[in-house]
Amino acid sequence: MLTLWGRANSINVQKVVWCLEELALPYERIEAGLAYGINHTPAYLAMNPNGLVPVLKDGDLVMWESNATVRYLAAAYDAGGLWPEDARQRALADRWCDWQLSVFNPAFGPAFHGLVRSPGSRPTAEIAASHARTEAAMRILDEHLADRAFLAGDRLSFGDVVLGSSVHRWLHMPVERQPTPHARRWYDALAARPATEKAFLLPLD
């Protein structure tokens, strides 16, 4: 059985939980991080010297960095499924994983922390700028999804798991959003999958 350390309300834990559920892999999740502690103990730091969540243990393999963990699970347990056989489709999925890290999360993060995680902790101007950047990012995503069901084509891939977890958060934040119908259709299809039930938690906190 696989073991996952991390609190359920961490976006980085959520994407790994979704992947595990999608693959129907047996696993145990141990609460860790923020109020749960554990992640700065010597035993935990021996697994992940960064002291962050999640950590996944699969036999003698210890994985940290959530996107890398999702890629590992997809490649090891669902080649031809979440891990596309076609190199071009894999490249598309991988590209959106990087975009999630470099563009989307930095865009919506300040608004999330200022409105949801720690209300009032960020200046109004910073939240407004975060909102504008995320709206621009959503337009990029919406255009990409105009002629395809999922990020890498007509099948769910690891890229959808990674980015979908972030978009879930954005679409449930208390902000006004411009219509992005293609992205919304894509998200609704993800949210309808039974595997997202333990990952797409509401309300956000």
pLDDT at 143: 98
How far is Cα 67 from Cα 199, in angstroms, rounded to an integer?
15
Tens-digit pLDDT profile for residues 29-55: 999 988 899 999 999 999 999 999 999
3-state secondary structure of 2: strand
Residue 175 · residue 205 · CB < 8 Å: no
How far is Cα 197 from Cα 160, in angstroms, rounded to an integer?
15
Residue 169 · residue 112 · CB < 8 Å: yes
Question: pLDDT tens string for the chain (205 positions)?
Answer: 999 999 999 999 999 999 999 999 999 999 998 889 999 999 999 999 999 999 999 999 999 999 999 999 999 999 999 999 999 999 999 999 999 999 999 999 999 999 998 887 889 999 999 999 999 999 999 999 999 999 999 999 999 999 999 999 999 999 999 999 999 999 999 999 999 999 999 999 7
Sign of CA dihedral 194, 196, 198, 201: negative
How far is Cα 13 from Cα 25, in angstroms, rounded to an integer?
15
pTM recorded for the entire structure: 0.95
Q: How far is CA 201 from the centre of its chain?
A: 12
How far is Cα 73 from Cα 21, in angstroms, rounded to an integer?
11
3-state secondary structure of 3: strand
pLDDT at 120: 77
